[in-house]
Structure 1
Amino acid sequence: MLPLVGAQRIYLADCDDRGESPRTVEGKRSNLGFFIRWCQGQGLDYCHDIDLANLELYRSHIGHLVDRRRKKRLDIATQRNRLSAIKGFLRRLQYLRLIEHNPSEFFESPGIPRRIPRAILTEPEIELILDHVLLYGDRGIRDRAILETLYATGLRRMEVGRLTITDVDFATHVVQVNEGKGRKDRRVPIASRACHWIRRYLTDIRPQWSHEKTGPTLFLSTRGNPLTPGQLSRLGAKYIHRAGVNKPGACHVWRHSAATLMLENGAGLRQIQEMLGHASIATTQIYTHLSLGQLKAVYARTHPAARVDWDNT
């Protein structure tokens, strides 16, 4: 009989051997840990103890859990992630012939609605924020370089945090993204203005903060260490607030805004997909829902029913 804890260890090692990113493996470890602890509380210690009825009970259990930070029930996306981790775990155990039957074969994860981003920064708002950053001295120069990079490239927070000083090619205006989401590499254009601010940061600021233990990471804290994801999020959000722009968001709002503005200015979905590093164009298609202003203008110009202004008749 194979204990659940032992099966988890084998499965995670297998995921690592197959080249899954450390972040993905850690996410699976966490989600499976929740499940295994629940199973142990139910007296289910071995793989053969798990059946479809148990899985349905666990679905009900997590459906009533409350996120301590948000003081709300777990959202559908979190529930789906936890249940999908179990399905992948059991499916792989069967493939490896560690279990005879997969009890999750007919177990369905909840569907997840694709959310439209809550806020998009307009071009004037972006310029206002970027100008405001320079009020903050040396940190402002670094932070201007970071925000310019987020805006110009549409990179994810973790991708910006992992950039090294050799990843930006100032001659060709291209950024090399190594091991982005899904451990995929890609090359992304970067605007000359962003290059200007990165170069200024590299020349005037980074040498002041780096020390003998500082690695090649591009963006550093004042202590010469790589910026943490939390630091980048706080940085991305605080300047929006300080500039008086009343919109929510942090690093990701710059990514969403870049993609939306490109689409409104004529970029194709395929090009935006390539730039953002989306595995599926279905993910990129969310931005077609964001250009409402452009849609209304086209509607007013082309739809026969919109030709008469009934508000003024």
Structure 2
Amino acid sequence: MSPPSLSALMEAYFVDLRVVNWTEATLERRKNSLGRFVRWLTEREIHTLSEITPEILAAYQRSLLHIGNLRTRKPLQASTRASYVHAVSHWLQWACLGKHIPFNPAAGIELPKAEYRLPASFLSQSEVEHVINQPDVSTKIGIRDRSVLEILYSSAIRRSELLKLEIQDIDRARRLLHIRQGKGHKDRFVPIGVRALDWLTKYLQDVRPWLLSGGGCKRNWMHPRKFSVSLSEQETQVVILCHNGGAMHPVNLSAMVRQYVRQAGITKKGACHMFRHTAATLMMENGADLRSIQTLLGHASLNTTQIYAHVTLDRLRAVHDAMHPAKPDQANAPSRAD
């Protein structure tokens, strides 16, 4: 009897991961990672797991370094390479436990060392206010877009969390948003500011019913009220809607936010997640503690939130200037050029 194919073992692997309640987003990333590995094996005429050796895995790891991103050919960050290799290692471990292979060839593999990186681009308070004021609120779409920017900035929720937000998740009385099954299958409540809630309320009252009825669709002159989008019951409860009344796609939401950032004359890279970084950074600058930021962002580990401690550099600089014994004596300091 011939051994099962790589694709068959991949399918069985993902079935088992669903059984133990892995999220679909994580499964999708894992599929991409393993898909790259399987294609790499196939190109080298390797068709079964039993043919994989530690030397082959080492060669694959080197290929990740030298080839990089398959589309852009740009180098992969160490964390990205580590995630690719970890996905392969976990799959092989599963196969070994299931007796598909006699041993795990990835047992001794060393992952690329993690890098400590500061958060991606974030905006100053004046910059973020400038961006938020870009939508034309004399139009219905402008009111929706202003509401989106206000929510992202005020609550610091993830793009995916905003797009899954439903009407029932808004607690106006307590100014809270109920984030259901966020990253890692975790529920949490996040506060939302008064200004953001006011814009959200205006959108829900004046714009969302219009979008839900198809008012935002581009009309065909031959069929002026043609509206063929069929919405599920869940979609009709989603807060943020696109022009045709359906749930907005993540790519379209990012493109919309990025457009307003560019329109404000800001060249920093980023879109929805930049608002999340901005909210956390500005709160830290204003004295918020890491535990509060961790709760707001929904981080499982305080180590993830620790990256926002970089904003305390202003305080560190002040202490350094005041306390360091080598602080300059103004009388002996060299004169500065005008």
TM-score category, normalised to shorter length: over 0.9
Match of 1:226 in 2: 247
Would you say the 8 A contact 1:59–1:83 is kept in 2? yes
Q: Give 1:135 deviation, angstroms.
A: 5.3
Between the two proteins, the alignment pairs up a number of residues equal to 313
Q: Give the match for residue 35 of structure 1.
A: 37
- The CA distance in 2 between the partners of 1:294 and 1:160, in whole Å, is 34
The sequence identity of aligned pairs, in percent, is 35
Post-superposition offset of 1:48: 1.2
**Contact 2:120/2:277, CA 8 A, preserved across alignment:** no
Indicate the SS of the match to 1:218: coil
* Structure 1 residue aligned with 2:326: 305
TM-score, normalized by length of structure 2?
0.86
Counterpart residue number, 1:52: 54
In the alignment, the residues of structure 2 paired with residue 178 and residue 51 of structure 1 have an alpha-carbon distance, to the nearest angstrom, of 43
Once the two structures are TM-superposed, the CA of residue 304 in structure 1 deviates from its matched residue by 4.0
For residue 227 of structure 1, give the secondary structure of its aligned residue in structure 2.
Answer: coil
8 Å CA contact 1:141–1:201 kept in 2: the answer is yes
Whole-angstrom distance in 2 between the partners of 1:84 and 1:113: 16
TM-superposed CA distance for 1:278, in Å, is 1.1
Query: Distance between the aligned counterparts of 1:279 and 1:225, measured in 2?
Result: 32
Q: Distance in 1 between matches of 2:319 and 2:160?
A: 37
Query: Which structure 2 residue ranges, 5 or more long, are not aligned?
Result: 214-229
**Structure 2 counterpart of 1:140:** 142
Q: 1:117 to 1:223 in 2, by over 3 A?
A: same
From 264, 267, 272, the counterpart of 1:251: 272
Task: Identify if the C-alpha distance between structure 1 residues 69 and 38 changes in structure 2 by more than 3 Å, giving closer, same or farther.
Answer: closer
Aligned: 1:262 with 2:264: no
Question: Cα offset for 1:43?
Answer: 2.2
- For the pair 1:176 / 2:167, whether they are aligned, the reply is no
> How far does residue 133 in structure 1 lie from its aligned partner after superposition?
2.2
**Residue in structure 2 matched with residue 194 of structure 1 by the alignment:** 196
Mapped contact 1:210–1:223 kept (Cα < 8 A): yes
1:76: how far off?
A: 2.7
Matching residue's letter, 2:299:
H
Q: Secondary structure at the match of 1:73?
A: coil
Instruction: Identify if the C-alpha distance between structure 1 residues 232 and 308 changes in structure 2 by more than 3 Å, giving closer, same or farther.
Output: farther
AA partner of residue 145 (structure 2): D
How far is 1:198 from its partner? 0.5
Q: 1:160 aligns with which of 155, 159, 162?
A: 162
Equivalences for 1:115-126 in 2 at 5 Å? 115-126=117-128
RMSD of the TM alignment (CA)?
A: 2.0
Change (3 A) 1:136 1:40: farther
CA contact (8 A) 1:170 1:195 kept: yes
State the TM-score, normalizing by the size of structure 1: 0.93
Task: Give yes or no for the alignment of 1:238 onto 2:240.
Answer: no
Corresponding residue of 1:216: 237
CA contact (8 A) 1:264 1:294 kept: no
Q: Tell me how far apart the structure 2 counterparts of residues 44 and 54 of structure 1 sit (CA, whole Å).
A: 10
Q: Secondary structure at the match of 2:134?
A: helix
CA contact (8 A) 2:134 2:264 kept: yes
Bigger helix share: 1
67-76 or 211-220, larger mean C-alpha shift: 67-76
Q: For residues 161 and 40 of structure 1, do their structure 2 counterparts lie closer, same or farther at Cα, with a shift above 3 Å needed?
A: same
Match of 2:15 in 1: 13
After TM superposition, give the deviation of residue 246 of structure 1 in Å.
3.5
> More deviation in 241-250 or 170-179?
241-250
